[in-house]
Amino acid sequence: MHYWLMKSEPEEVGIDDLQRLGQIGWFGVRNYQARNFMRDVMRVGDGVLFYHSSCPQPGIAGLAEVCSPAYPDPTQFDPESKYFDPKATLEAPRWQQVDVRFVRKTRLLALEALRRDLLLADMQVLQRGNRLSITPVSEAHWRHLQDLLT
DNA sequence: GCCAACGTTGGC
DNA sequence: GCCAACGTTGGC
């Protein structure tokens, strides 16, 4: 069992979209480290902090759960998609995604508040220069965040 | 729109 | 395998 923080731009897919759809494929990851987390480490049932990025109020907006193993991200094959990758083929896909299901919305726990919380100071997502859209979350951080989000 | 930080690419 | 140039992320 692992825990994750996954960033999404709410203009593209926000927590309300996940709630409406119930479940989505986490398409569009184009970073090898983040892909490897999905492919090699994630398991069905892992907990997910759904984070809104690149928006007026960045922060944790809800809880979700990994609900499929990794499989090829279809947008890499679609020339119309902004995530199209000309070097990916059906025989040798490059990019993977997992399905994520909605658990619940939370109050918005703003990035600013995360940074102020000393117990979260060493969260990977808060480290200087971090750009990974998927980062592991320790069990201690997960538990603390559950308390904050209750 | 700026820009710090980091990842990727490609020539050598 | 080095590393300069370039591209991207994402908060501000």
Q: Is the CB of A33 under 7 A from strand B?
A: yes
What tokens were used for A96? 């993977």
Q: Is the CB of A54 under 7 A from strand B?
A: no
* Domain interval for residue A95: 3-149
- Scanning residues 128 through 147 of protein chain A, those with a beta carbon under 7 Å from any atom of strand B turn out to be 128-131
pLDDT at A100: 98
Number of domains in chain A: 1
SS (H, E, C) A98-118: CEEEEEEEEEEEEHHHHHHCH
Strand-pair category, A23-25 with A3-8:
unpaired
Q: Which nucleotides of chain B are near protein (any atom < 7 Å from a CB)?
A: 4-8
Is pLDDT of A83 > 90?
yes
The model's pLDDT over A23-40, given as tens digits with 9 standing for 90+, comes to 999 999 999 999 999 999
Strand-pair category, A3-8 with A47-52:
parallel
Q: What is the strand order of the sheet A23-25 is part of?
A: A23-25, A99-110, A59-66, A47-52, A3-8, A134-137
What tokens were used for A134? 């998927």
The model's pLDDT over A22-81, given as tens digits with 9 standing for 90+, comes to 999 999 999 999 999 999 999 999 999 999 999 999 999 999 999 999 999 999 999 999
Q: Which CATH number is A23's domain given?
A: 3.10.590.10
For residue A54, what is the DSSP state? S
The SS3 call for residue A76 is: helix
Give distance CA A46 / C1' C12 (Å): 32
Give distance CA A44 / C1' B3 (Å): 38
pLDDT at A63: 98
* A85, closest nucleotide (Cα–C1'): B8
